[in-house]
Structure 1
Amino acid sequence: MSLQITSLNSGSNGNCYYIGNGQEAVLIDAGISCRETERRMSRLGLTMDKVKAVFISHEHTDHIKGVTVLAKKYRLPVYITSHTLTHGRLTLSNVLSFTAYQPIQIGSLSVTAFPKQHDAIEPHSFIITDQQISIGVFTDIGVPCEHVIRHFQQCHAAFLEANYDEQMLDKGRYPYFLKNRIRGGKGHLSNRQALEIFTTHRPPFMTHLLLSHLSQDNNDPTLVQSLFDEHANGIRIVVASRHAETPVFEIMN
């Protein structure tokens, strides 16, 4: 038994993550266009026929801008909280809600949401499990709180935010208020914070870490890759791109 995972896009220009088995799959967020989602999945040999649902983490544009067209075209249910739906101003025909810590079954996939610290109305992260293989999606996180740590410790693979390098942010062109928004506890995780989660809380069975939601202005993929490779201990480290899909990775128990 295995799960297939890929980042179709990761960054402030759009986020979309695929997790599936041989029969069904889910998308976590739909922040790129329907056409681009289809194009990237096709290049990977994946099809929308297997996608049975979309789960939305929060209402920011880079997580929802493709969901309306995608859901309508493929008649997909969209799992989203009522407050996120309202604040995202989305018009969807097949809306289902979710509640933190209450698993939702999509075929044999079990999707569980849990709250996170981010400057959105009702933000959640997700862990997806099938046959005791667990995949976590941990992005747009202000602080490495107990919810994140506890779920990270369960993961065979994870999408983990490494948004900014602290020195690059501090010396960069962003205005002071925006810098404070990013690092103020309800923005994003720094490379240092993400590395501490990884080195301190990774389980012995973790095989893949996909570093996600890198800032275009305040981070450097080469720097991040090198930083985490030093501490990989055999775990495959992949920096998810804001410009292209990653390969499909087979995650096994």
Structure 2
Amino acid sequence: MSLFITSLNSGSNGNCYYVGNDQDAILVDAGISCRETEKRMCRLGLSMSKVKAIFISHEHSDHIRGLSVLARKYHLPVFITPATLLNSRLGTEQFYTIPLKGYDSISIGELSITAFPKSHDASDPHSFLITFQDIKVGVFTDIGFACEHVIHHFKQCHAAFLEANYDDELLDNGYYPYYLKNRIRSPKGHLSNKQALDLFAGYKPPFMSHVLLSHLSKNNNCPKLVKELFDRNADGTEVVVASRYEETPVYTIMSSKHVQASA
């Protein structure tokens, strides 16, 4: 038994993550267009017919931009907290929504999805743990710091989408205005490479097979830099940098260290 994961896109221009087994799948966030979601899944050999629900982490546009069209076209339920829905300015009549509550376990086929609170500058932001039998995959992005909720769930994961948004030196020396730099590095902003590495090195379980470094800043980070940083501390975990321009391969996550990837 396995879980299959891919990042369809990851960055401030749109976020969308796929997690599923042989029968059922979910999307976490829908920040790219319906057309791009379909094209990228098709290139990967993934079928939209397996996607049974969309889970929304928070209301920022790079996480919901393609939601309305995608949910309506495929008649997908959208799990979203009431505060997130209210602040998303999406009309509730556009698609079917189900209220999301932290630490409630939601069953989608044989998948179990648990949302839990995180620190970010949104109305009611949540991260997710997706479980199939004894395999667990976490989605940890748009996080100001690794709070106890994040650490508790990260320690359980066989694979994780982990934010590594910015390099401290690149942010400090970049052209962003002072207030924006402070927002990014605030406890309700984003994880730096160092903060992500501290979480990874300090709490990674020995059975974590993959970490997909996610939500990299276009201007304040470098894919090569962060991959080299994590590779030096990987200890057997495969390090993948999720792109803001294209999908990653589909990775097969098992309960042992035996994993594989398909283009």
Q: Same fold (TM over 0.5)?
A: yes
Matched, 1:166 2:174: no
CA deviation profile, 1:188-239 (whole Å, cap 9, x unmatched): 0000000000000001111000000000000000001100000111111000
SS of residue paired to 2:145:
coil
Query: What amino acid is aligned across from residue 130 of structure 1 in structure 2?
Result: F
- CA deviation profile, 1:47-100 (whole Å, cap 9, x unmatched): 100000000000000000000000000000000011111110112321101110
For structure 2, the 5+ residue unaligned runs are 256-263
Report 1:95-114 matches (<5 A). 95-114=97-116
**1:167 shift after superposition:** 0.5
Structure 2 match to 1:77: 77
CA deviation vs aligned residue, 1:103-139 (integer Å, no higher than 9, x gap): 0000000000000000000000000000110000000
Question: Does 1:32 pair with 2:32?
Answer: yes
Residue 195 of structure 2 is matched in structure 1 by 193
Given residue 48 of structure 1, which amino acid in structure 2 is its aligned partner?
M
For residues 156-235 of structure 1, the aligned pairs below 5 Å read: 156-235=158-237
Residue 198 of structure 1 aligns to a residue whose secondary structure is helix
Which stretch of structure 1 is more off in the superposition, 90-99 or 57-66?
90-99
| Corresponding residue for residue 52 of structure 2 | 52
Residues 1:139 and 2:127 aligned together: no
Report the 3-state secondary structure (helix = DSSP H, G, I; strand = E; otherwise coil) of the residue aligned with 2:40.
helix
Q: Count residues with an aligned counterpart.
A: 253
Secondary structure at the residue paired with 2:116? strand
The alignment partner of 1:174 has SS state of: coil
TM-score (norm 1): 0.99
Deviates more, 1:179-188 or 1:90-99: 90-99
Listed as ranges, the matches of 1:9-28 within 5 Å are 9-28=9-28
C-alpha separation between the residues in 2 aligned to 1:84 and 1:100? 13
Instruction: Please report the RMSD computed on the Cα atoms of aligned residues, expressed in angstroms.
Output: 0.5
2:85 corresponds to which letter in structure 1? L
* SS at structure 1 position matched to 2:42: helix
Which residue identity is paired with 1:43? R
Over the matched positions of the two proteins, sequence identity in percent amounts to 67
Q: Distance in 2 between matches of 1:209 and 1:17?
A: 13
Give the counterpart of 1:124 among 123, 126, 138. Answer: 126
The answer for the alignment partner of 2:155 in structure 1 is 153
1:236 and 2:218 matched:
no
Give the match for residue 5 of structure 1.
5
Deviations, residues 20-44 of structure 1 (Å, cap 9, x unaligned):
0000000000000000000000000
SS at match of 1:113: strand
* Residue in 1 that maps onto 2:259: none
Q: d(CA) in 2 for partners of 1:238 and 1:37?
A: 20
**Deviation at residue 249 of structure 1 after TM alignment:** 0.1
Query: 1:82-93 counterparts in 2 under 5 A?
Result: 82-91=82-91, 92-93=94-95
